[in-house]
Chains A and B, each alone.
Chain A
């Protein structure tokens, strides 16, 4: 990926589990597969741990896109954390739609510890998609407004 200066460089946060996707991203490195620098990984023990308020927190702080990725169904290191995450994502997605957050900004995926190449592809695809969607400021504005109101009280 070349980072053309005139191009919009999205800020993307990836919330990943320690056992599959984090290890998969390690494998991308070990395999020397190149991908865009826009995505930064935050490590969690399990996708089940990912409180979706964190996603909103990320948007409030100016994230243009988010990746959530963990073990494939049935492969969770903790048996069922990824199922909880999947179910939570389905409910959360509807809530986001209701309040008007663009769900295309969030990419939910499974990447196993053996799928280094898949992680590279996922990052590049997400960066390309978010680049096409442009900067995301709506939610940041809302968050800033709410914060200001809170401070005025």
Chain B
């Protein structure tokens, strides 16, 4: 006979404001098999948990149902509470009275009735529950970090410094990411390269880090503690072991007019190239799409001039298989393509540029060596207009969110411009200035007050060329929408930060969630900001949403701690919510008939064949068996099984039927 305890949480007033918790507890006490039923203000608090523990001991409870917030929030908490009181943790179920009831319905009879039936449903389930023991799996103490920007660099260094092996892969020929492209960084104006490049070198030299550049994730299998990853090492056409990085090949390459990605299209590069002088590794790769040999079949000039014979044409991509225990995704972001701003004239007028291009112009390593010069004629612009929120906070352009970094970098750009062009005039068109952050507001004030940047509150309607000037037409909403017209020499658009190319495909490879903007979703926006819903895969940096450098670095260190925490355990304890094939007494041994439909359904190859033998060693029957290390507990096999021989622990057919029957018969 079941002795079930029911505990209804008020969640302060979150539940009790619309659900009559006391009545729910009273009604439940009348249910068959319920031995104890009570409501309490905060069930998850220390006194609340003590209440549960005492009740379990006093009433010898065989199962517990807690009516509280979503099980995604506190299932673990309450299971632990039960375990501490000596009850099997899998005999504890959560009825979601907050997210699925009190928060979505108005106060009233129907809401309380719904709460009662939700709790009753789980009481019926607990009656059918079986005690389960968790599964122990060994952990591969090696991490994979995807993306070599500042987030990936920081995460790799932190994990490696904890004494664990790290594989860092980067799709480009060099690590460094967007941060390596920046000139100075807000709010301190220290040079981006000066603080970044030492860390890049540290990554390359760290004994615990294996760095693969020009490499991408091909596929992922397995699960937390034991992922099997395949990494595609794209053919570099240059043997890094032989190459000394002398640069003769690049200087002789006849393809000289390829727009440089590093300089955001403002400079050029060759087909065999090192993206920038401080690149790590500082060895070139051949860009097949622009190489004369790969495109037209002849040239090979680089091969002829290479003093160490390092050029190797026609070498295919390599696939590298690795086992890792955890994955950190730090694939960063991109800046919005400006195609949908025909009104701003990007692409039509050479002197309308993006914020990232301005970074390159202002950078000492950029195409103008740090002088602010117009892309069209190389003249120093005397009047410059910065347009904030070019795309961001504009639902009409599909980007309702704030890109977060633009207010600060626009202030920085205007400031850098004023520092470099003393007689110049700069205007910033803004919607609001969002300068939340340590020393951020002070920084913006400095731009306005000390450097004389003119801030105009309002949006720019149109940019067009007239007599060699860019006419910027907008409105000043602080002057009642008075029209403003500025004859500028250059216009800089603070284009929105968007998810990186291929983010969706990458997320699908790893089975992690992403939002409608293709940014990766964290397990909880506040309390689990560096974890994904897939155990063992962590996030950091701007692949989650546009982020500035301090947030990115702290997120990366956070993800690294999660990985180090995982690796500090000797064995990984996994939930036993996996499939099992029934076994019974001879002569049947199992109701499984060996059709192996389950095998075709299983996405994890977790179904094995087990031969049942008689005393003479003859095979009587071959039945299915689930490998508990591989099974993830999706239960697709259960729905496939024709003889109902396979079931999933924690979601058995019996339990689910009990839930459905209970729901409809109350």
A33 to B99, CA, bound (A): 10
Binary A-proximity of B79-108 (CB < 8 A = 1, otherwise 0): 000000000000000001011110111101
Question: Contacting B117 at CB < 8 Å: which of A29, A40, A54?
Answer: A40
Please name all residues of chain A whose beta carbon is closer than 8 Å to the beta carbon of B521 when the two chains form the complex: 113-114
Nearest CB in chain A: distance from B485 CB, A: 41
**Contacting pair B99 A29 (CB below 8 A):** yes
**Contacting pair B635 A44 (CB below 8 A):** yes
- Which of B99, B101, B636 has the most A CB atoms < 10 Å from its CB? B636
Question: Contacting A42 at CB < 8 Å: which of B507, B577, B660?
Answer: B660
Nearest CB in chain B: distance from A149 CB, A: 20
Within 8 A of B (CB), among A41-87: 41-46, 48-52, 54, 57-58, 61-63, 74-81, 84-85
Please name all residues of chain B whose beta carbon is closer than 8 Å to the beta carbon of A75 when the two chains form the complex: 507-508, 513
Nearest opposing residue in chain A for B118, CB measure = A40
A80 to B99, CA, bound (A): 27
Nearest opposing residue in chain B for A76, CB measure = B511
Nearest CB in chain B: distance from A83 CB, A: 9
Question: Contacting A33 at CB < 8 Å: which of B71, B104, B636?
Answer: B104
**Contacting pair A22 B72 (CB below 8 A):** yes
Asked if A34 is at the interface (CB within 8 A of a chain B CB), the reply is yes
A3 to B114, CA, bound (A): 13
Within 8 A of A (CB), among B94-152: 96, 98-101, 103-106, 108, 110-111, 113-114, 117-118, 121
A74 to B509, CA, bound (A): 9
Please name all residues of chain A whose beta carbon is closer than 8 Å to the beta carbon of B511 when the two chains form the complex: 76-79
A9 to B110, CA, bound (A): 10
Q: Given A57-B660, A84-B601, verify A113-B634 contact (CB < 8 Å).
A: no
Asked if B659 is at the interface (CB within 8 A of a chain A CB), the reply is yes
Please name all residues of chain A whose beta carbon is closer than 8 Å to the beta carbon of B98 when the two chains form the complex: 29
Interface size for A (C-beta < 8 A) is 53
Asked if A23 is at the interface (CB within 8 A of a chain B CB), the reply is yes
A23 to B532, CA, bound (A): 13
Asked if B515 is at the interface (CB within 8 A of a chain A CB), the reply is yes
Please name all residues of chain B whose beta carbon is closer than 8 Å to the beta carbon of A74 when the two chains form the complex: 508
Binary B-proximity of A29-41 (CB < 8 A = 1, otherwise 0): 1101111010011
Asked if A25 is at the interface (CB within 8 A of a chain B CB), the reply is yes
Asked if B533 is at the interface (CB within 8 A of a chain A CB), the reply is yes
**Contacting pair B100 A25 (CB below 8 A):** yes
Nearest CB in chain A: distance from B157 CB, A: 31
**Contacting pair A45 B110 (CB below 8 A):** no
Q: Given A29-B70, A42-B663, A81-B634, verify A49-B648 contact (CB < 8 Å).
A: yes
Please name all residues of chain B whose beta carbon is closer than 8 Å to the beta carbon of A114 when the two chains form the complex: 513, 515-516, 521
Question: Contacting B603 at CB < 8 Å: which of A11, A25, A79?
Answer: A79
Binary B-proximity of A102-146 (CB < 8 A = 1, otherwise 0): 000000000011100000100000000000000000000000000
- Which of A49, A77, A120 has the most B CB atoms < 10 Å from its CB? A49
Please name all residues of chain B whose beta carbon is closer than 8 Å to the beta carbon of A80 when the two chains form the complex: 603, 636
Nearest CB in chain A: distance from B301 CB, A: 44
- Which of B100, B659, B661 has the most A CB atoms < 10 Å from its CB? B100
Nearest CB in chain B: distance from A35 CB, A: 5
**Contacting pair A78 B632 (CB below 8 A):** yes
Asked if B664 is at the interface (CB within 8 A of a chain A CB), the reply is yes
**Contacting pair A120 B632 (CB below 8 A):** no
Stretch of B33-41, B313-321, B649-657 on the interface side: B649-657
**Contacting pair A19 B533 (CB below 8 A):** yes
Asked if B477 is at the interface (CB within 8 A of a chain A CB), the reply is no
Listed from nearest, the 8 A-B pairs whose CB atoms lie closest are A49-B635, A29-B99, A48-B636, A78-B634, A29-B103, A61-B664, A79-B603, A26-B99
Q: Which residues of A contact B (CB under 8 A)?
A: 3, 9, 11, 13, 18-20, 22-23, 25-30, 32-35, 37, 40-46, 48-52, 54, 57-58, 61-63, 74-81, 84-85, 88, 112-114, 120
Q: Which residues of B contact A (CB under 8 A)?
A: 70-72, 96, 98-101, 103-106, 108, 110-111, 113-114, 117-118, 121, 507-508, 511, 513, 515-516, 521, 533-534, 577, 601, 603-604, 632-636, 638-640, 648, 651, 653, 656-657, 659-661, 663-665
Can you name 16 A-B pairs with beta carbons within 8 Å? A19-B533, A20-B513, A26-B70, A40-B117, A40-B118, A40-B121, A49-B634, A49-B651, A52-B639, A57-B660, A62-B665, A75-B513, A77-B511, A77-B534, A77-B634, A84-B601
